[in-house]
Amino acid sequence: MKVNKKNRLNEAGHLNASSVSLYVDAIKLNLIDRLPEEIYQHALECLSCSAEILQLESLLEGEDYSQMSDHPFFGKLHSQVLISDNMDSLDSILEQLKEEAATIPVYERLLEEQVTYRNVYTPVIKVDSPGAEKLYTNQVNFKFATESDKPVTLIVENHQERVLKTTLDPNDASYSLQFNPYDKFPSGLYYWKAALKGGKPILGKFYVYNPKPSAEA
C-alpha cells in the first residue's frame, strides 16, 4: 500500500511543529523506532531541531501518557514488552533490555560527543558510579567527585518520566536511588544527567531490572 507522503519538514528544511510533537510523543510512548525515517534522521543530524524536541519534551514533562490507548499516528497502543520470567542470568537480562531499549537519539548523540571530546576537555565532575551501561536490580548508587564547591544537580529519567531530581553536596556527591515503588521504576533504559549549578551536564545511562512483584506473595 502506498502511503501519502506527508509534509514532515517546513520550508526551511527543518522539522515542522507536528513532526516535533510527534517525536516527543514517540519518546514518551517508547516508540522511537516507529517514527517516520525522515523525522528520525533529521533529528539525528540537526542540532536546532534536537533542541526544539528537548524543549517541548520538558514542557510536557508532567503529562502522563500511560493511560493513552490510541494515538493518531501510532494507532493502538499496547503495554510494554515484558521480560520473560524464565530468564535466570543477569547477563541475558541485560542483553534483552538492551535489545528492547527505547533509546532517545538526541541523548545518545550527546553521549557520543562526550566520548569524542573526553581527551580535549577535562570534565569538572568525575563519575565513580554508576558504571556505563551497567545493569542494576534493587538500587543504583551515584558517586561523583568534583573540585568545585558548587552543588551538583542530579536528574534521572526513563522514557516516560523524570524519576529523580536532587541536589548533592559537592563534598559528598553521592546518592542511593532505590527502585521503589515498583511501578515508578519499570525495567529498561535510564538516563542520568549531573551538572554543577549553572554548568553543562554530563550524561550517562544504565539499565534497571525490576520485575513486577508477584500479586500472590
12-20, 98-106, 165-173, 207-215 -> range binding Zn ion (CB under 5 A): 12-20
Least Å distance, CB 23 to Zn ion, is 11
Least Å distance, CB 83 to Zn ion, is 36
Query: Contact between 164 and Zn ion (CB under 5 A)?
Result: no
> Cβ of 131: how many Cβ atoms within 10 Å?
12
State which residue has the least CB distance to Zn ion. 46
CA dist 165 to 15, 114, 153, 212, Å? 30, 22, 7, 24
Query: Contact between 49 and Zn ion (CB under 5 A)?
Result: yes
User: Are the C-beta atoms of 199 and 150 separated by less than 8 Å?
Assistant: yes
Nearer to Zn ion, 41 or 176 (CB): 41
Least Å distance, CB 116 to Zn ion, is 21
CA dist 133 to 34, 36, 52, 157, Å? 24, 27, 27, 14
* C-alpha cell at position 13: 528544511
Q: Encode burial over 36-52: b for 16+ CB neighbours within 10 A, e otherwise.
A: beebeebbeebeebbeb
Q: Which of residues 129-158 bind Zn ion (CB under 5 A)?
A: none
47-55, 130-138, 146-154, 164-172 -> range binding Zn ion (CB under 5 A): 47-55
Query: Contact between 106 and Zn ion (CB under 5 A)?
Result: no
**31, 32, 46, 60: which one binds Zn ion (CB under 5 A):** 46
The gap from C-alpha 24 to its chain's centroid, in whole angstroms, comes to 12
Q: What is the CB-side half-sphere exposure of residue 170 using CA atoms within 13 A?
A: 12
Query: Contact between 14 and Zn ion (CB under 5 A)?
Result: yes
Contact residues: Zn ion, CB under 5 A: 14, 46, 49
